[in-house]
Amino acid sequence: MKLIPEWLDHDYCLIAWPCNENLYEDIIYKAKQEVECVINEISKTEKVIVMYNKKDLKEVEKIKVSENIELLECKLDDSWMRDIAPIFYTENNKLKSTSFQFNGYGKYPNYYNDNKVSEFISNHLKVPIRYSDIVLEGGAITYDDKKNLFTTSNVIFNSNRKQKNKNDKIINELKILFELDNIFMFQNGLINDDTDGHVDNLLCPIGNNQYLIASTNKLDPNYEILKKNKNDLIKFFNDTNQKFDLIDIPLPTRKKINNKTIVSSYINFYFTKNKIILPKFNVKEDNLVKATFNKLFPNKEIVMLETENINYGGGNIHCITMNVPKI
C-alpha cells in the first residue's frame, strides 16, 4: 500500500489562511479566529506550516505563538488545503507526492493559484512529485491500510470536473499509481455539499478494520442517501471478503448562519499523534460523539473546537488541513 493512512504519524500539518472574502463575506473574521484555534491546537502536537497571501502577513504574524508554527508565503485563492495540497505516498521507503488537477470544483472561476499549490508544497518540502491530469481533490478520497480507496462517483465523475479521460481510465490510473486493490464509490454525498459530496463528510477509516460512517435519523433529508451508502459499503466488504466494523457517527442537528443551511459532519476531523481534533457545533449530538470517540481512542485526548464559521465556507477541520506523513 503506497498511500499512508492518516492515523499514522505526521511530520507536518499544512493549513492555508482564509482569504476568500467573496465566499465568507463578513463571516471571514470569525472563520479566521476559528482557524487560529485549530492551528494552535495542532501545534501543541506537531509542526504546522501556515500558508498565506502576502497581504495577510501582519495577520498571520500574530498567530505565530509557537516554534511549531512556520509561516510560508504563497499565492492562494481559497483555504481548503485538503483539496489543493499534493497527495503523499511512499515508494521505496521514501516520501513522494502526486499533483492532481484542481478546477475549483468546476464552479468557481478563481482557482489558478490553488492549482499550483501542490507543486509549490512538494518543492518546498523537497518531496519528489509526479503530475497527473486527473481532476481530484484531497477531500474526495480517503483510504485504509488494506489497499482500499474510497470516493464518491458524483464527485470524481461529475461533468463539472471536466475530466480528460474516461471513467475506467481514471480508475485504472489511480489503482496503478497507488497500488490499490479496490476503489469503492459511494453514489452521493451530503445534500447541498458544495463539493458535490466529498467523502470526508461520509467515511473515515481508523485502523483495525474499523470505519466511521455518517448516519442520521429519518427526519433528516440525508437519511436515504446515508442508508444506501452504508448498505453499499457493507456489500462491497462482503463481496471482497474483508473484515469490517462500521461505527455510526450521527450528523449534527442542522443549523443556519445568515439563512444558509450548514452542511456539517463530525467525520470531518483531524488526527494527531495523541489527539483527535473534532468540530463542535453546540448541538445535542456533541456529547454523544465525544463519548464515542473517547471509547474508540482511549489513548488520545479528544478535543472539540467550535468551527461553524469555517463550516459556513463549505468545509471543516479536515478540509482546512493536510497531514504530511512521517516516513
Is residue 319 a part of any domain in this protein?
Answer: yes
Tens of pLDDT, residues 62-119:
999 999 999 999 999 999 999 999 999 999 999 999 999 999 999 999 999 999 999 9
Domain range for 296: 10-325
* Assigned domain for 5 exists: no
C-beta of residue 63 within 8 angstroms of C-beta of residue 69: yes
In a domain, 180, yes or no: yes
- pLDDT confidence of residue 1: 64
For residue 276, what are the contacts with CB-CB under 8 A and spacing of at least 6?
269, 270, 293, 297, 300, 301, 302, 303
Element (H, E) at 34: helix 28-43
Q: Half-sphere exposure of 263 toward its Cβ, with a 13 Å CA cutoff?
A: 20
4: in domain? no
Compute the average pLDDT of residues 291-296. Answer: 98
Asked whether residue 141 is domain-assigned, the answer is yes
In a domain, 2, yes or no: no
- pLDDT beyond 90 at 32: yes
Q: How much of the chain, in percent, has pLDDT values that exceed 70?
A: 100
Q: What is the CATH number of the domain that holds 170?
A: 3.75.10.10
pTM of the shown model: 0.97
Report if residue 155 sits inside a domain. Answer: yes
The domain tally of the chain equals: 1
189 confidence band (pLDDT: 50, 70, 90): very high
How many angstroms separate the CA atoms of 115 and 160, rounded? 16
Q: Is residue 259 part of a domain?
A: yes
List pLDDT tens digits, range 248-282. 999 999 999 888 899 999 999 999 999 999 999 99
